């Protein structure tokens, strides 16, 4: 998925930076523009209408933006003080596109880890969420990808991810269960295997509301 195939050395001194670039193929813009123009015609609309004339290119740009994660530096620092409690970023806004209906799902992600030899720049937790959310997704895979990636690239003692999201395909159409939120989780290391750490993670992630 990313250029971060090289695992960050878990030990070592100083600040480490690893450039992360989403490696997904770029959408074919001309094909996308033509497809949206066809969609408008199929919907019985006049594509020369002043409001619709530029819609195919706007929609193409919108999809390209929604499906392209921003590149970032994965910055880590030595855990000099041996901090050994959870680091938790709660309520990270998350937006993605449902793979089944191409409609948005959105909500919040709670991402935590138990540091090993290095700690992560805090903003990077939200950046890793975006790295995988800007894709055609199902919520279960998205949750696992974030947890797996952090486990592989940060080598912490444990990682936990919870996502709470509303799927517009479930609220606007179909079953029309407006307000229903789907909750998924993925755990690694001590957050999966150690009962106390696991309970603490879930208490911090979802218990405090």
Residues annotated as binding site for Zn(2+)? 98, 101, 169
CB 160 within 8 A of CB 201: yes
* DSSP-derived secondary structure letter, 6: S
Judged by CB under 6 A, the stretch of 40-48, 67-75, 155-163, 168-176 that binds ligand GTP is 168-176
What torsion do the CA atoms of 31, 36, 42, 44 make, to the nearest 10 degrees?
A: -150
Per-residue string for binding with Zn ion, 86-125, x by CB under 5 A? ------------x-xx------------------------
**Alpha helices (runs of H) in 110-189, residue ranges in sequence order:** 123-133, 139-154, 168-171
Examine residue 143 and tell whether it contacts ligand GTP (CB under 6 A).
no
User: Closest CB to Zn ion belongs to which residue?
Assistant: 169
- Max distance between CA atoms of the chain, in angstroms, equals 65
Examine residue 170 and tell whether it contacts ligand GTP (CB under 6 A).
yes
Q: Please say which residue, 114 or 186, places its beta carbon nearer to ligand GTP.
A: 186
Cβ 209 to Zn ion shortest distance, Å:
26
Examine residue 174 and tell whether it contacts ligand GTP (CB under 6 A).
yes
- Which of 112, 14, 120, 132 shows the shortest CA–CA distance to 70? 132
Residue with tokens 């209906």, as numbered in its chain: 101
From residue 203, alpha-carbon distances to 88, 123, 162, 189 in Å are: 11, 22, 11, 17
Choose from Zn ion, ligand GTP, none: what does 139 bind? Cβ within 5-8 Å by kind: ligand GTP
HEC string of 174-205 equals CCCCCCCCEEEEEEEEHHHHCHHHHHHHHHHH
**In this chain, which of 108, 138, 168, 204 binds ligand GTP, going by CB under 6 A?**
138
**In this chain, which of 118, 124, 167, 188 binds ligand GTP, going by CB under 6 A?**
167
Cβ 183 to Zn ion shortest distance, Å:
16
Query: Which secondary-structure segment (H or E) carries 90?
Result: strand 87-98
143, with CB counted inside 10 A (0-12, 13-18, 19+), is: buried
Per-residue string for binding with ligand GTP, 93-122, x by CB under 6 A? -----x-x----------------------
Judged by CB under 6 A, the stretch of 34-42, 65-73, 113-121, 134-142 that binds ligand GTP is 134-142
Examine residue 7 and tell whether it contacts Zn ion (CB under 5 A).
no
Which residues make up the interface to ligand GTP (CB under 6 A)? 98, 100, 138-140, 167, 169-170, 174-175
């Amino acid at each position: 998925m990313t250029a971060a195939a090289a695992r960050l050395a878990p030990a070592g001194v100083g600040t480490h930076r690893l450039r992360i670039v989403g490696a997904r193929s770029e959408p074919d813009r001309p094909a996308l523009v033509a497809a949206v123009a066809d969609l408008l015609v199929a919907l019985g609309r006049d594509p020369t209408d002043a409001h619709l004339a530029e819609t195919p290119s706007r929609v193409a740009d919108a999809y390209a933006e929604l499906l392209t994660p921003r590149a970032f530096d994965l910055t880590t620092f030595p855990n000099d003080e041996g901090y050994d409690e959870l680091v938790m970023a709660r309520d990270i806004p998350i937006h993605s596109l449902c793979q089944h209906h191409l409609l948005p799902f959105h909500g919040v992600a709670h991402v935590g880890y138990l540091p090993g030899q290095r700690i992560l720049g805090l903003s990077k937790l939200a950046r890793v969420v975006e790295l995988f959310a800007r894709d055609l997704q199902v919520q279960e895979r998205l949750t696992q990808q974030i947890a797996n990636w952090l486990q592989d690239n940060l080598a912490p003692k444990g990682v936990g991810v919870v996502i709470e999201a509303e799927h517009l395909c479930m609220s606007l159409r179909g079953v029309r269960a407006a307000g229903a939120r789907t909750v998924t989780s993925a755990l690694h290391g001590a957050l999966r295997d150690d009962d106390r750490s696991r309970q603490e993670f879930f208490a911090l992630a979802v218990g405090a509301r």
